[in-house]
Structure 1
Amino acid sequence: MSMRRNLPSGLRSCPMAASPLERVPVPPGSEGAARLLQALAEALTGSGPAIAPVPTVSATVSNDYVASILRALHIDAGLPLESPEVALVVATSGSTGEPRGVLHSAATLTALDGAVHARGARPQWVLALPVTSMGGINVLVRSLAAGRDPIVVPSIGGAGPFTPQAFAAAVESARRRHDDVRVSLVPAQVTRLLSDEAGTRALLGCSQILVGGASLRPSLRDVATSLGVRLISTYGATETAGGCVFDGVPLPGVSVEVDAQTGTLIVGGPSVALGYRAEPDLTRAAFGPRGFLTSDIGRIESDGRVMVIGRADDVVSISGVNVSIGAVDQVLADHPDIDAAAAVVVTDPRQEPALHAFVVVRDGARRAPDDARESVEQILGRAARPLMHQVDALPHLPNGKVDRRLLIEWAATGQEDR
């Protein structure tokens, strides 16, 4: 079934008339993708109002999560849009705090289409990410630019479990339409696909595999490379219209520099958002002449590649020693018997910060949590040694990010330490 109705081939941005922000309810699965694609096409071409995608409550999307998105978007507050250029207001992930509404224009959303597609290509995209987050929205935007409806993996938005078989069927369907098949995934999906023969074959059938939403650990890239699968690690944020640095190299027109005072990265270029919804002070602090001031600590290598080291807000002092939560995540996830890992900080009864790590272990690897904890101590020091919790799966938000606020709740309720 075609997802577009009476739409022009490709996108031709034109000035938008000032109009109210329209909420677009997005149910799980292909129905939500079709609904948002239509509204997005009209918003981008100026034939429809600015839109704000909001997931509907479902078995995997809670009332509380939807309420947090609505607070960020300020849809029902009667506030005028900050600019007539706004085409889309999309919420940030909210994985560690309250989401924020990010203002994008048609120009910022489509600025990097040519750089991603390259040489005027019109690829067939497979949609495997929720369309209420920037990764899924980008697939819709680029599908419109290519003039081809995306092939939807049935599980998106929590409609069902993500399985290698369903992904393989989507890629096969895409390849029947075009030989240039592209997809955006998060690392957890890549891990699942590479552990399955059908999933690996499907990845081999894709000409471009963008991986974002979390860092791509070297061990996962090595596994993919050994199987002949080429992954492209992307770096960006909702405020930069998603990934704008591919494998450490900024896309054409994108600039990345290090702020001399904070050591954090500043991303500039045509895809940088207009600001935040109903937060003028925060907008002035985060957006400036040089671009968007991220919370990511990084450096620029001698060859110009961008190296992201961690987040400025994930460094915690434990026993007087600064510990990067992101660095702990990385060491744990690089253990060969750890499928997934996430560390969080909670306050113990003495009002001291305590580091907890949740890990998903490969079958039969009973010593993996203890061995991984020893690796953390050897590499990062004793202060970084976490309390370990083995779980069957990490909890994720509907946008695919790890739900760290829920992990903090789990840690605070006394999961068994290992």
Structure 2
Amino acid sequence: MSSTRRLRPLKVPDGARAPEVLPELRRALDGDGPALLPIPEGDPAAVETAGALGADEPLDPAEDSPLDPTALVIATSGSTGRPKGVLLSAAALRASARATHHHLGGPGRWLLAMPAHHIAGIQVLIRSLLAGRPAHAVDSTAGFRPEVFADAAEEVLSVPDRHYTALVPTQLGRLLAPESDPRGLRALRAFDAVLVGGSAIAPSLLDSARQAGVNVVTTYGMSETAGGCVYDGTPLPGVEVHVETPSPGAISLSGPTLARGYRRSGGGSTAFADGWFRTGDLGEWRDGLLDVLGRTDDLIVTGGVNVAPAVVERALSGHPLVREVCVLGGPDPEWGQAVLAAVVPEGEAPPLEELRAAVRERAGAVCVPKRFAVLDELPRRGPGKPDRTALLGMFAERGENELSTGLPTGSDEPMREDDPHGLSR
């Protein structure tokens, strides 16, 4: 293999047309074609990102190997906002797909329900290729709709086999909502496994899904690990997890699914070292299972005390009137940072005193949010992740003098903010 293999953009169609890229994807996995940089078709911003990552230019010698060619370069901004290209070899992608099938009980038919230019989506296509089954995809041109998911699922489930799909928590929540097409829930129950990842899933949503008879498998991973590599808190075969002490501590991952590094990093990335990837996430072991508590960058230091947003989110999501929640830290002149909470209610807005009491009881007084915002939807980025930057900007617009109060000045009602962002972006 020449050291001048090129990186070529792979324009991935949205929705039901996504499987059109399978022939090129197969060539990349077999090492017969160029390395591919998946980007959404028709997105000018994605074309700009591709240019920044050296699309249509040769791979550097350290970015490829004749024994294990780089198959994909996945664009990711991580927590920095600057585009990075994750170099994934064919072996890493295959190892991830095979480990997933091993964990789930064998190969089967997959239904793609998320964008295939993200690692979680393109892995659904790779698993289909390795399983030797046709790939099926949900038509998402008008956004994620439960009735459209049900139509696609019924087609996949009509063929005897094992059946799988992968969702982000928001999609799962919409399928479980009482007002949704009941066929969506019936379809979910029929899948042998429903992988859920991309962002933390609220314990209440996970409990609701499992009580409804859905075999939800929670996943943890990222582009740098070729997708999910820890399922239901257990590392996939060959994957190693290290959590720094004292607990909770920073999480590092290693194993056969690990990426080579970043495109054009010049070996300067500190995230990859000695066969390990420093995730930037915070976690701890609970009863032998990995519990991920969010980004180390998102840790809130209020009055000199460390508060993990996930701990507060779990306390709030236990309230029956809370559908989704995102907790973050904002500047505070007295405490350094204040705990802020954006809540999406299940119907009517929950009383704020009940929310404060829930956090105080389950996480301690220091974790009680100083301010709440009640939203119709959380703003999102990437595959369903809450956009913390957008939320922090929303809180900042209210002015720093409000950050120490639970309600806007002069109001007896929680803040409401209509937000158009969602999975249809």
Same fold, TM exceeding 0.5?
A: yes
Per-residue CA distance 1:386-411 (angstroms, 9 max, x = gap) = 41111111122243222222222222
1:218-229 to 2 correspondences below 5 Å: 218-229=203-214
Per-residue CA distance 1:207-247 (angstroms, 9 max, x = gap) = 11111112233222221222111211111121111111111
Letter in 2 for 1:280: G
Per-residue CA distance 1:307-331 (angstroms, 9 max, x = gap) = 2233322112222222222322332
| CA 220–120 in structure 1, closer or farther in 2 if over 3 Å, else same | closer
Cα distance in 2 for residues equivalent to 1:70 and 1:350:
44
Structure 1 position 126, deviation (Å): 0.2
2:60 to 55, 72, 80: 80
Q: Give the match for residue 264 of structure 1.
A: 250
Q: Give the match for residue 371 of structure 1.
A: 354
1:277 to 263, 273, 280: 263
SS at match of 1:112: helix
Q: Give the match for residue 402 of structure 2.
A: none
Letter in 2 for 1:199: G
Cα distance in 2 for residues equivalent to 1:313 and 1:95:
8
SS at match of 2:385: coil
SS at match of 2:144: coil
Q: Give the match for residue 100 of structure 2.
A: 116
Q: Give the match for residue 137 of structure 2.
A: 152
SS at match of 1:111: helix
Alignment of 1:177 onto 2:163: no
CA contact (8 A) 1:286 1:293 kept: yes
2:150 to 168, 171, 183: 168
CA contact (8 A) 2:199 2:384 kept: no
| CA 319–393 in structure 1, closer or farther in 2 if over 3 Å, else same | same
Q: Count how many residue pairs are aligned between Structure 1 and Structure 2.
A: 392
SS at match of 2:280: strand
SS at match of 1:142: helix
Letter in 1 for 2:373: H
TM-score of the two chains, using structure 2 as the length reference: 0.83
Alignment of 1:240 onto 2:225: yes
Structure 1 position 300, deviation (Å): 3.3
Q: Give the match for residue 307 of structure 2.
A: 323
Tell me whether 119-128 or 216-225 shows the greater mean CA deviation.
Answer: 119-128
Structure 1 position 88, deviation (Å): 0.6
Cα distance in 2 for residues equivalent to 1:97 and 1:203:
34
Structure 1, unmatched stretches of 5+, are 1-14
Q: Give the match for residue 47 of structure 1.
A: 32
Letter in 1 for 2:151: A
Per-residue CA distance 1:5-57 (angstroms, 9 max, x = gap) = xxxxxxxxxx78741110122342233x1343332211111121001011245
Structure 1 position 99, deviation (Å): 3.8
Per-residue CA distance 1:309-366 (angstroms, 9 max, x = gap) = 3332211222222222232233222322111111233335889434332211111x23
Q: Give the match for residue 3 of structure 1.
A: none
Letter in 2 for 1:73: L
Cα distance in 2 for residues equivalent to 1:391 and 1:67:
32
Q: Give the match for residue 298 of structure 1.
A: 283
Per-residue CA distance 1:71-103 (angstroms, 9 max, x = gap) = 763336776362242111102254663342111
Structure 1 position 414, deviation (Å): 2.5
Cα distance in 2 for residues equivalent to 1:239 and 1:53:
15
CA contact (8 A) 2:313 2:326 kept: yes
Structure 1 position 264, deviation (Å): 1.6
Q: Give the match for residue 190 of structure 1.
A: 172
